Copies of this chain bind each other. A is one copy, B any other.
Amino acid sequence: MGERTVYFLSDQTGVTAETLGHSLLTQFNSRNFRHVTLPFMDTEDKVREAVRRINEAAAAGGPRPIVFSTLVQDDFRAIVRQADGLHLDIFDVFLEPLGAELGETPTHAAGRAHGMSDVHTYMKRIEATNFALANDDGGISRNYDVADVILIGVSRSGKTPTCLYLALQYGVYAANYPLTDEEFEKGELPELLLKYKKKLFGLTITPERLRQIRRERRALGKYSTAQQVRFELREAERLFRRYAVPYVDTTEFSIEEIASRILDSTGVERRVRP
């Protein structure tokens, strides 16, 4: 079987169609897909052009294309249904029962989801991102009083991307502080952190994986030796246990999962909804 093209069609960014489609496709073993996102399909011409592309892919002789779409307008969905492919659209299926429940007909206002309907939301995400950057790696600001959570862990355990994801996705104020030989020699967390003990959350990782990540950054030197990596992780986990800091092993997790687990475990509230 040849490669199958999967289209993500949207009158907006395509993020919802991609997320939906990805969730569904990972339930199957097939992997031979070519992904094509067609965002901002907000005129009839653009939708017809998308259908032309889908039909062209279908005509090429491989397996029939799959089309995940989130098109708000009924007439646009009707056009896409004519394309030579399997068409799955969340609005087709869910809009009617939801409208019946809410006692409302949908406004069909394309561009409202993910739209900057709310300037406030945008600002919150930006502010949280600035906070994460200023408080990265025990950085200059150390505004731990306004932090929602302070991630601690050894170098390259995933602190920075997790903080940035929490900020961008949820508007959560996440600082991070690296655990180094200084803390390990004393066997103590610094006073600076202990003042905010309830906000601390630890990240750990397996030695094998950490070595792999560190080697990409700096192949030589003590930093990525098996011995050093094992020492740091053992001491970090000892500190987590000593101070009863909740922690998660990030080895098998994506950034989304680490972030979700932190929110779930700490009970920190999302400041914005994506």
A contact set with B: CB distance below 8 Å: 12-16, 18-20, 22-30, 35, 37, 39-40, 64, 66, 70, 72, 86, 88, 90-91, 93-95, 97-99, 101-102, 104, 106-109, 112-117, 119, 121-123, 125-127, 129-130, 133, 136, 158, 160-161, 164-165, 168, 209, 213, 216, 251-257, 259-261, 263-264, 270, 273-274
Other contacts beyond A66-B98, A88-B94: 18, CB < 8 A: A16-B19, A18-B274, A19-B19, A19-B274, A20-B20, A22-B273, A26-B109, A27-B109, A28-B102, A29-B107, A39-B260, A40-B261, A64-B101, A119-B209, A122-B254, A165-B168, A168-B255, A256-B274
A111 to chain B, nearest CB (A): 9
For A35, the closest partner residue in chain B by CB is B273
B168–A125 contact, CB under 8 A?
no
For A16, the closest partner residue in chain B by CB is B23
For A18, the closest partner residue in chain B by CB is B274
For A25, the closest partner residue in chain B by CB is B98
A13–B257 contact, CB under 8 A?
yes
B95–A93 contact, CB under 8 A?
no
Q: Given A125-B161, A260-B14 in contact, is the A107-B28 Cβ separation under 8 Å?
A: yes
Q: Given A86-B101, A122-B255, A164-B129 in contact, is the A15-B24 Cβ separation under 8 Å?
A: no
CA distance A227 to B148 in the complex (A): 37
Residues of B within 8 A of A165 (CB): 168
Residues of B within 8 A of A122 (CB): 254-255
A161–B129 contact, CB under 8 A?
yes
Residues of B within 8 A of A114 (CB): 23, 254, 256-257
CA distance A86 to B22 in the complex (A): 24
Q: Given A115-B257, A254-B116, A273-B22 in contact, is the A161-B95 Cβ separation under 8 Å?
A: no
CA distance A35 to B269 in the complex (A): 10
Of the candidates A19, A40, A112, A165, the one having the most CB atoms from chain B within 10 angstroms of its own CB is A19
Q: Given A98-B88, A106-B27, A116-B253 in contact, is the A19-B20 Cβ separation under 8 Å?
A: yes
- Selected contact of A115 from candidates B93, B109, B254, CB within 8 Å: B254
A213–B260 contact, CB under 8 A?
no
